[in-house]
């Protein structure tokens, strides 16, 4: 059974590593591996003293940092005859950190849009035809007819005020990320081994909010290792597959 470990304010090893780099005001393209590795290992040691369970992914990154540090200590080989410089051992780590930061910024942007959408309210459309296109007719009304029309206006106005006080929450507000993730889990329940196109997971394909909500839900489930996704080229189709963690989560729910 897989589970999510959250150490302090850090949700994963890259979250901690990005914090250490930014806190030390280092250039992400020129990371001081020795210092960052020292701080990273110190943080892990502190967690052990507090008897906090350590996720395997933190250990894996620690080993990778130590390996990079070892390679940095080795003498650099001279450039080849073609003039190509030896590859920097930090290159792969930098690319992964940049990719992590991009996904994190995108997730935060989608969350902000979701929160903004939750503040949108709506009310049923009112039939205003009784007040439009009848100017000449009202000019010919006698006093009794005018009073009747004015009372009708007051009743309509009162009804609008009541609706405003007891507003109906919009459909956007009712749909939550938790509900959409439950829909996605149910989607894969009948055939856990199917590979679905991302568009198949969208309930209302013309609704931008629904598209953004589905995308952010898929990202969250990928972060929880419940889904895998693949896109072979920019703007290409996104293929989504369920992982064994998603199926295990269903057993727990039952």
Both 31 and 114 in one domain: the answer is: yes
Residue 221 has pLDDT above 50, yes or no: yes
Whether pTM > 0.85 for this model: the answer is: no
**What pLDDT is stored for residue 54 in this prediction?**
65
Q: Indicate if 57 and 114 belong to the same structural domain.
A: yes
| Whether residues 114 and 29 fall in one domain | yes
Q: Token pair 């989560």 is at which residue?
A: 249
Look at residue 78 and tell me if it is in a domain.
no
Q: How far is CA 182 from CA 3, 80, 117, 187, 192, in A?
A: 18, 55, 20, 9, 14
The pLDDT value given to residue 169: 45
- How many CB atoms within 10 Å of residue 201? 20
Cα-only R_g, the chain: 29
Please report the pLDDT score of residue 53 as a whole number: 67
| Percent of the chain with pLDDT strictly greater than 90 | 0
Does 23 lie in the same domain as 56? yes
* Domain contains 248: yes
Rounded Cα distance, 251 and 50, in Å: 32
Classify residue 233: in a domain, yes or no: yes
The count of other CB atoms within 10 Å of the CB of residue 167 is: 11
Average pLDDT score over residue span 188-211: 83
Same domain, 221 and 181: yes
Q: Is residue 181 part of a domain?
A: yes
Tell me, yes or no, whether 130 and 191 share the same domain: no
Asked whether residue 81 is assigned to any structural domain, the reply reads no
Same domain as 26, residue 101? yes
What DSSP string describes 184-234? Answer: HHHHHHS-TT-EEEGGGG-SSTT-HHHHHHHHHHHHHHHHTTSEEEEESST
Residue 198: CATH number of its domain: 1.10.10.580
Are 3 and 50 members of one domain?
Answer: yes
Q: What angle do CA 176, 215, 210 make, to 5 degrees?
A: 50
Q: Out of 10-24, 64-78, 132-146, pick the least confident.
A: 132-146
Q: 145 is in which domain, residue-wise?
A: 124-166
Can you give the pLDDT at residue 174? 52
- Examine residue 80 and state whether it is found in any structural domain, yes or no: no
169 DSSP 8-state letter = E
Comparison of pLDDT for 163 and 209, the residue scoring more: 209
Higher pLDDT, 1 or 217: 217
**Could you tell me how many residues make up the chain?**
254
Same domain, 158 and 59: no
Of 150, 166, 182, which closes a domain?
Answer: 166
When mean pLDDT is compared across 63-67, 76-80, 101-105, 211-215, the lowest value belongs to 76-80
Query: Quick one: pLDDT at residue 2?
Result: 37
Q: Which residue in 193, 185, 202 sits closest to 238, CA to CA?
A: 202
In a domain, 38, yes or no: yes
Q: What is the mean pLDDT of residues 195-201?
A: 87
Q: What is the mean pLDDT of residues 21-25?
A: 85
Give the count of domains, the chain. 3
Q: Is residue 145 part of a domain?
A: yes
Q: Mean pLDDT throughout 135-143? A: 59
Q: What is the mean pLDDT of residues 205-233?
A: 86
> What's residue 165's pLDDT?
60
7 and 113 share one domain: yes
**DSSP letter, residue 196:** E
Q: What is the mean pLDDT of the chain?
A: 77
Q: How confident is the model at residue 6 (pLDDT cuts 50, 70, 90)?
A: very low
Same domain (yes/no): 26, 136: no
Terminal Cα distance for the chain, rounded:
15
Q: Do 247 and 208 lie in a common domain?
A: yes
């Amino acid at each position: 059974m897989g589970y999510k470990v959250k150490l302090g304010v850090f949700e994963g090893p890259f979250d901690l590593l990005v914090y250490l780099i930014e806190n030390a005001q280092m250039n992400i393209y020129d990371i001081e591996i020795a210092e960052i590795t020292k701080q990273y290992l110190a943080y892990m040691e502190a967690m052990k003293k507090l008897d906090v369970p350590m996720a395997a992914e933190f250990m894996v990154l620690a080993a990778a940092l130590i390996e990079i540090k070892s390679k940095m200590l080795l003498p650099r080989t001279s450039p080849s005859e073609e003039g190509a410089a030896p590859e920097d051992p930090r290159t792969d780590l930098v690319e992964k950190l940049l990719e992590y930061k991009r996904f994190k910024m995108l997730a935060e942007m989608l969350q902000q849009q979701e929160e903004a959408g939750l503040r949108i309210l709506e009310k049923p459309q009112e039939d205003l035809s009784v007040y439009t296109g009848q100017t000449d007719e009202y000019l010919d009304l006698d006093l009794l007819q005018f009073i009747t029309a004015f009372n009708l206006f007051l009743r309509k106005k009162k009804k609008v005020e009541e609706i405003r006080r007891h507003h109906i929450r919009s459909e956007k507000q009712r749909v939550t990320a938790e509900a959409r993730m439950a829909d996605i889990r149910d989607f894969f329940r009948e055939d856990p081994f199917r590979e679905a196109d991302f568009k198949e997971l969208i309930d209302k394909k013309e609704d931008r909010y629904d598209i953004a909500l589905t995308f952010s839900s898929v990202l969250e489930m990928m972060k929880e290792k419940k889904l895998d996704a693949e896109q072979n080229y920019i703007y290409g189709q996104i293929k989504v597959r369920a992982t064994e963690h998603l199926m295990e989560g269903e057993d727990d729910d039952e």
